[in-house]
Each structure stands twice: as structure tokens, then as C-alpha cells.
Amino acid sequence: MQSRWPRANIIEDTAATAPLAARIFDPRLWRANRPLRVVLIGTDFEVRVWETLLKIPLGRAMTYSDIAAKLRAPKAARAVGAAVGKNPVSFVVPCHRVLGKSGDITGYHWGLTRKRAMLGWELGRLTAA
């Protein structure tokens, strides 16, 4: 956050943020009729990509090409990849649900180990349900 807003005065307040963090990371608190509100700051294209990511269901994935096609820009898979890579809120905007064209787990800003873990956690949630 500091690098994104270098002139901001950022103060850690875990007591104030704990309920929000719980709502994000505890599936028991997820409610379809009460979605988490997120303000996304980016170019129009980036925001459209991120909004598309928000529509990928838990435990599912799409390719960069799939997202480009949904945005009616079928030749823009590389631009989609760049936008996915600029996602500032991992997990909340599920960029980990994007795979390479072959279905392989590909690049992730926070590392492939974390991406695999997140995808595995989601699959585990589905099989436990």
C-alpha cells in the first residue's frame, strides 16, 4: 500500500480491520445477498478485467483468452494478463483463478506456490460442502 500511495499516512489498526478480514477470509461469513464492496482503481480495461474475475465462481478457473473473449476483445489475452497482474487485492479479486491457455497454472504476482495453495483451498471447500 505504501508504494501505491507514497504520500499516505498508513496506520495499522488490527482491531478495526479484523472484522473485515474475517468477512473476506472466513467462508462462513460470505453472503451472496451481501457482497463485499471493493473500490477498484485502474484503467477502464483493468477494471473490466477485475470485474470479470469477480464473476468466476469459487473452485473454477478461466484462461486469459476466455476473459478476453468475455470482454469482446478476443485478441487481448496479453492485455488481460497485464491487467490481472496489476490486481491490487489478491483473493478478494480472484486473479488466482486465471490459468494459461493450456490450463497450466501460470504467473502470479504473489508466487505460484501461493496460487496453487489458494486453488487447492477452494477445491477443498467445494468437496467438503
Distance CA 119, CA 102 (A): 17
Are 72 and 106 in contact by the 8 Å Cβ rule? The answer is: no
- Active-site annotation holds for 62: no
Spot the catalytic one: 95, 98, 118, 119.
Answer: 95
3 state SS of 46: helix
User: Which residues are CB-contacts of 60 (< 8 A; sequence separation ≥ 6)?
Assistant: 97
What is the grid cell recorded at 90? Answer: 489478491
- β-sheet bridge partners, residue 99: 63
Q: Cite the active site residues.
A: 95
